[in-house]
């Protein structure tokens, strides 16, 4: 699963080549695994989304019960970001 997260992060970070970066942390992502004393756990994702359309500067996903759920939600959000950034880039090129 670690390799899948790495590839997803690289896809997300690659968007900076189209938009530039207003902040050094733009297009960064952190995945947090939290465990409690009773054996429960959660997975949360923090995406730094400064340069994506009208998104907030920080996008939080989760908490999720499983890593697979967290990964799928993050993958969907990266796909959404790719669509927005791609459209904005094409609009600039065609202006």
> What's the pLDDT score for residue 38?
81
Q: Is the overall model pTM greater than 0.85, yes or no?
A: yes
Between residues 15 and 26, which one has the greater pLDDT?
A: 15
Residue 24, pLDDT > 70, answer no
Distance CA 42, CA 34 (A): 5
The residue among 36, 53, 43 whose CA lies nearest residue 74 is: 43
């Amino acid at each position: 699963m670690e390799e899948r997260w790495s590839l997803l992060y690289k896809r997300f970070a690659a968007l900076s080549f189209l938009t530039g970066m207003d902040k050094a942390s733009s297009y960064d992502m952190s995945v947090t695994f939290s465990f409690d004393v009773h054996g429960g756990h959660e997975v949360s994702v923090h995406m730094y989304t400064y340069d994506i359309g009208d998104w907030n500067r920080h996008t939080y996903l989760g908490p999720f019960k499983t890593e697979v759920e967290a990964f799928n939600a993050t993958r969907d959000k990266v796909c959404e970001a790719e669509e927005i950034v791609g459209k904005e880039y094409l609009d600039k090129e065609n202006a």
